[in-house]
Structure 1
Amino acid sequence: MRTVKHPHDRENLAYYLQGLIDNKYTLDQVSRITGYTKSHLCVLKGKFKKKGEKVLINGHKGMKPKNTVPDDVKKKIIDTYRTDFDGVNFHFFRKALNDYYDIHYSYRTIYTVLTEAGIDSPEKHNKPKKDKVHRPRYRRDSAGDLIQIDATPYQWFLWCGDTSYYTLHGAIDDAEEKLTGLCMTENECSYGYYDILEQTIDRHGLMFDIYSDRSAIFCVSQKDKDKLTIQEQLAGVHEKRTQWQQILDKLRIKQILAWSPQAKGRVERMWRTLQGRLPWYFKHYKIKTIQAANDFLKTKYIDIFNNEFGIVAKKAAVWRKPPANYKDFICSKFERTTDNSGVISFQGYKFSISAPDIAKKKIELCIYKDGMKALVDGIFYPVTLRDNLQDGIGETMSTSLKNIIYEYMLTDCKNICA
């Protein structure tokens, strides 16, 4: 049989206390009716007998709790969000208030202040869709075991009226979820990926594996894999390789290619975080150029991100020590043969190489963002453009050399052949 619980009658507590004093009710009866213990009723009875009904009035009634946010602070929080943080998620807004505005409240308090002002969280959840379930890829146990790389275009400088899309290249460690490199360029390009690879090696060392999508810079399409040059066939090459793959081969880094965006979950979450936060940092520090952005990203923001989002790996790091000259390998390389004068042709231009016995010799022309070198018998030598005339603004690098470097290092990698 189910026990029926009657609601407690506390509104008429004064009446029942007076009944106790007049011996109209017993302690058992009043305890059952009001829900108070007999010992507590004895205390209330004594106080009620001396001071009457005022002992039943809560002393805090009508007073604001000590942890209430003052009205002027509420206004500042709301105005600050609407002025400088519109569209930013509330978690980051709370962190910025704490770090830059000396306003210290819990996330729940900030959330309440903003939502009561009619501001919805940008991360407000809609009804979830029943998407196809993808098998998870488990996190690696050690830092340096696997690095994920990717790039994304975004309007990073809207705060100053620049509506252009610029591409941010990023690398993140799979085990610790820490950024290892960031580089912004006009578009997704070889230089951006070369730069974050260098940053990662400079900061930590060589990784074992690199995980990326199947962009043209990372792999040759299936239909072009067998299209080998005569030189490649004579060299025993069985499958065409991109410049990126050749760099990884030199550094003994294994390449892993993703088959779907879902397989790159960690790096995709990284982009959501960066797109939600970096525009505010750029506005706060008055950053509006790619060069200034790269300086900030490399010297400050990587550490800011890692301190907030980095986790502890299950096992010790396994970064490898790179060779002293590893940067010589991170470039675009092209095989050429010198003529009788030790001169090579490339893209319609003539280049001379400052090396001994260079006539009629096979060399590798190495293109970097800031110039070229020639690899001859395992040694790097300077390369000089034969028509090395200064351009109109007096810079030492000729316009023709700039154009070559732009074509092979900075051109959108989605619009060129690997």
Structure 2
Amino acid sequence: MGLIAMSERDLQRIEILSKVIADRMTMVSAAHVLDLSTRQVRRLLERIRTGGAASIRHKAIGRPSNNRISDGVRDYAMTLVRERYTDFGPTLAAEKLSERDGLRVSRETLRGWMTEAGLWLSRKQRRTFHQPRLRREAYGELVQIDGSEHRWFEDRGDPCSLLVFVDDATGRLMQLGFVRSESAFSYFEALALYLKRHGAPVAFYSDKHSVFRVAKKDARGGQGMTQFGRALCELNIEILCANSSQAKGRVERMNRTLQDRLVKELRLADIGDMEAGNAFLPDFMEDYNARFAVTPARLDDLHRPLNLAPDRLTEILCKREQRYVGSQLTFSFERKRIMLEETEVTRGLVGRYVETYAYADGRLDVRWKGYSLPYTVFDKDQRVTHAAITENKRLSDVLAYIKERQEQLPTPKVKTNSEKNGYTPRGRKPGRGRDFMNDPAVIARRQKALSGLDAAE
């Protein structure tokens, strides 16, 4: 006889029953230790005497279950899963097998089948690991940027977003700013302050927000880059987009730290609006950097000074687009019609493209080969009722704008059905609950009728 595998419970039973056989323990004590009845202990002793210690094992060990699903049903279910539900999870696949194919299989049974067939991986098997990355060696070599939407002022003000610039080599807070939402203009303003204060870094590291990366692969305009990416290209600054949140973990952890420390500092200073908050941030950054910034591996500062005129920087940090001029010397811009004034220059622009410069303060400049063109705006005052595509991070700003426009419009008067049909009450009919006996009009008509009858008689 070869080796026989036994469970720990069977080995314990054999040890206790051998003591009973050797008269070192009573049957009642053995039943108490094994948590069995005396009759069951007597049966086990009889099995040991006749079949040996191996007979203690359960008879069903190594045998298939009597309630097992047949191999034919299993093969049929897995065939359906491979043909129709390859990318389904076990729960959804079990529901569809029951609804569409009339095959009822529990989700856990189907999970085991799909795991054995290699069609499903458990959460542990699907887990991915992000290896730690060393800091950059020099200050200004890589700056991580991100926006964090939070109730920074708690109940004292509205929620807003905080733009965070963190140096990767030192962990220093380079730039902070409260804005209503993450947009190209808000990042332009933060970038302008950063460049004036520190200079141009080698590269920025961000997520895949549409401000930094073109979401559509087949986008027509922009030459494959966003307005922010175009501005960084003109400033000779590289932009890198992370594939996951863990890749830019330094700024993500900084957001979590600021949501704890900065919120409490604003509470102690009794600050409840963005203007006062932005005035408070420089002192907060100086104190934070003095306490928590680290020394880089190299002491070089890779920030480059900006040799640009202020007007040139303003022209770079704006939205620049090309617009087609129609036969009426007009073109569309943000749901408005821009009408170029007729001059010697604009007469030859029909069928050509002009360049628009949209600034953060609302100004719009239309240019042709660097020459500014005079224009007028024809606005139809369209209401925001169309189905516009809105990013999640700009939803709060868009809803606030819609609410502001709705409050400006007059409240519509709701007409009743009688007013819609043109009915006007004449006031001669007695209404409900009216006293007919004492109504002067009814009494006058009754007296007139009676006098007519007396005259006829």
The two structures have a TM-score, normalised by structure 2, of 0.49
Q: Which residue number corresponds to residue 265 of structure 2? A: 281
Aligned pair count reads: 259
Q: Which residue number corresponds to residue 307 of structure 1? A: 290
* Distance change (3 Å), C-alpha of 1:207 and 1:215: same
Q: How many Å separate the matches in 1 of 2:396 and 2:214?
A: 13
In the TM superposition, 1:11-410 aligns within 5 A as 133-158=129-154, 160=156, 162=157, 164-221=158-215, 224-228=216-220, 237=223, 240-297=224-281, 299-313=282-296, 314-322=298-306, 323-324=308-309, 325-338=312-325, 344-351=331-338, 357-359=345-347, 360=349, 362-374=353-365, 376-377=367-368, 379=370, 381=372, 385-386=376-377
The answer to whether the Cα contact below 8 Å between 2:367 and 2:373 also exists between their aligned partners in 1 is no
Kindly provide the CA deviation profile for residues 200-220 of structure 1, in whole angstroms up to 9, marking residues without a partner as x.
111111111110111222212
In the TM superposition, what is the alpha-carbon distance from 1:273 to its structure 2 partner?
Answer: 1.9
* Distance change (3 Å), C-alpha of 1:371 and 1:136: same
Percent of paired sites with the same residue: 27
Q: How many Å separate the matches in 2 of 1:265 and 1:368?
A: 33
The secondary structure found in structure 2 opposite 1:259 is: coil
The two structures have a TM-score, normalised by structure 1, of 0.54
* Distance change (3 Å), C-alpha of 1:177 and 1:385: farther
Query: Higher RCO, 1 or 2 (CA under 8 Å, sep at least 6)?
Result: 1
In the TM superposition, what is the alpha-carbon distance from 1:276 to its structure 2 partner?
Answer: 1.2
In the TM superposition, what is the alpha-carbon distance from 1:251 to its structure 2 partner?
Answer: 1.6
Kindly provide the CA deviation profile for residues 355-381 of structure 1, in whole angstroms up to 9, marking residues without a partner as x.
983441532212222023436356474
In the TM superposition, what is the alpha-carbon distance from 1:294 to its structure 2 partner?
Answer: 2.0
In the TM superposition, what is the alpha-carbon distance from 1:257 to its structure 2 partner?
Answer: 1.2
The answer to whether the Cα contact below 8 Å between 1:336 and 1:365 also exists between their aligned partners in 2 is yes
Q: How many Å separate the matches in 1 of 2:237 and 2:338?
A: 32
Q: How many Å separate the matches in 1 of 2:304 and 2:389?
A: 29
Kindly provide the CA deviation profile for residues 238-261 of structure 1, in whole angstroms up to 9, marking residues without a partner as x.
xx3222222222222112111111
The secondary structure found in structure 2 opposite 1:261 is: coil
Q: Which amino acid aligns with 2:301?
A: A
Kindly provide the CA deviation profile for residues 358-414 of structure 1, in whole angstroms up to 9, marking residues without a partner as x.
4415322122220234363564748765359xxxxxxxxxx979x9xxx99999458
* Distance change (3 Å), C-alpha of 1:348 and 1:178: same
* Distance change (3 Å), C-alpha of 1:347 and 1:189: closer
- Structure 1 gaps, min length 5: 1-130, 389-398
The answer to whether the Cα contact below 8 Å between 2:213 and 2:229 also exists between their aligned partners in 1 is yes
In the TM superposition, what is the alpha-carbon distance from 1:225 to its structure 2 partner?
Answer: 1.1
The secondary structure found in structure 1 opposite 2:299 is: coil
Kindly provide the CA deviation profile for residues 284-335 of structure 1, in whole angstroms up to 9, marking residues without a partner as x.
22211122212322x4322222222222322310112223222321122221
- Structure 2 gaps, min length 5: 1-126, 398-457
Q: Which residue number corresponds to residue 437 of structure 2? A: none
Q: Which amino acid aligns with 2:317?
A: I
